[in-house]
Structure 1
Amino acid sequence: MSSTAIPVPPPLLHTAYRADLDLLVSRWGYQPDPALLPPAYEELTAQALACGCRFWLQDIRRRTLNDPAITRWLLTEYFPQISQRLGGRLTVAYLTGPALLEALLNGPGYLPPSAYEQQPFVVAFFGDEGEAIRWLQTEQRRP
């Protein structure tokens, strides 16, 4: 009797706290069904609360599109709530592939980081990991 191995998808999310940089780094493994995103963000929440980190690098280079409903949920519910739970302004740098970065920056709902001045969170998009980390480090030094 032969057994056929069922392919196991890679993990959707791998998150690690970088104490040396005080950054929570999450690497998304693939483009998920939008229904999988809220549970993945709950996993991210648990890790962020465990280390008390408000500075996040979200590597979404393996994702190819942004779901408008999820984006709306992140901006109107999730980010404001998690920043309150973390006790300060949440700062999120998204590292994207070139096509998604272009789509996001040229999309109808795009806001530059400066547009978040009065919000309890700020979001920015980058195509280069070093640039994203430098931006997060600059944000860490803000009063």
Structure 2
Amino acid sequence: MTAGQASDLLQLTYRPDLDLLVGRWSYQPDPALLPAAYELLTARALESGCSYWLQDIRRRAANDPAITRWLLAEYFPDMARRLNGRLRVAYLTGPALLEQIVAAPDFVPAKDYAGKAHAVAFFGDEGAAVAWLQEQRG
């Protein structure tokens, strides 16, 4: 995947007014395309120094279990370390994907991340996702 293909899949915008890194995923990707997209996300996050991310995955219909395990076990902890010990990620999902995620046997609710360097939460409403990210600053 080229940088251009990665930016077609994932549009990233740093919002300095909210100190949020907003990622909008354009379509359901083949899992083979995800590493390059996450390289782009990593570069933008480190460039902005932003550890509060809103990831809009409403155009995705499924999560790849291997990628999800990698995100939770390796990527998010590593990014938290690289971003001064803290990372908060709010995922904005469509209703069907949100139902799949919450029903998964290995789902971890946001409250279970208390005291950890990284936290992940899922929302069906963008306002609620942004509010959660703002609350995480306290």
User: TM-score, normalized by length of structure 1?
Assistant: 0.90
Matched, 1:18 2:31: no
> Which structure shows the bigger proportion of residues in helix conformation?
2
**Deviation at 1:128?**
0.3
Q: Distance in 2 between matches of 1:118 and 1:91?
A: 12
> What residue is the counterpart of 1:119 in the other structure?
116
The residue type equivalent to 1:66 in the other structure is N
Q: 2:133 aligns with which of 117, 136, 140?
A: 136
> Any gaps of 5 or more consecutive residues in structure 2?
none
Q: Tell whether 2:14 aligns with 1:34.
A: no
CA distance in 1, matches of 2:73, 2:116: 10
Match of residue 62 from structure 1: 59
2:105 corresponds to which of 108, 116, 119? 108
Q: What is the SS of the residue equivalent to 1:119?
A: coil
Which of 67, 88, 91 in structure 1 is aligned with 2:88? 91
The one-letter code of the counterpart of 1:55 is Y
Q: Percent identity?
A: 63
Aligned residue number for residue 5 of structure 1: none
| Greater Cα radius of gyration, structure 1 or 2 | 1
Report how many residues are paired.
133
In the alignment, structure 1 residue 81 sits paired with structure 2 residue 73: no
Distance of 1:45 and 1:127 partners within structure 2 = 24
Unaligned runs of 5+ in 1: 1-7
Q: Could you give the per-residue CA deviations for residues 64-118 of structure 1, whole angstroms, max 9, x where no partner exists?
A: 0011100000001100111111112100000000000011111111111111124
Supply the distance in 1 between the matched residues of 2:93 and 2:32 (Cα, whole angstroms): 21
Give the Cα–Cα distance (whole angstroms) in 1 for the partners of residues 113 and 16 of structure 2.
Answer: 26
Paired with 2:85 and 2:125, the residues of 1 have a C-alpha distance of 26
> CA RMSD for the aligned pairs?
1.3
Q: Which runs of 4+ in 1 moved over 4 A?
A: none
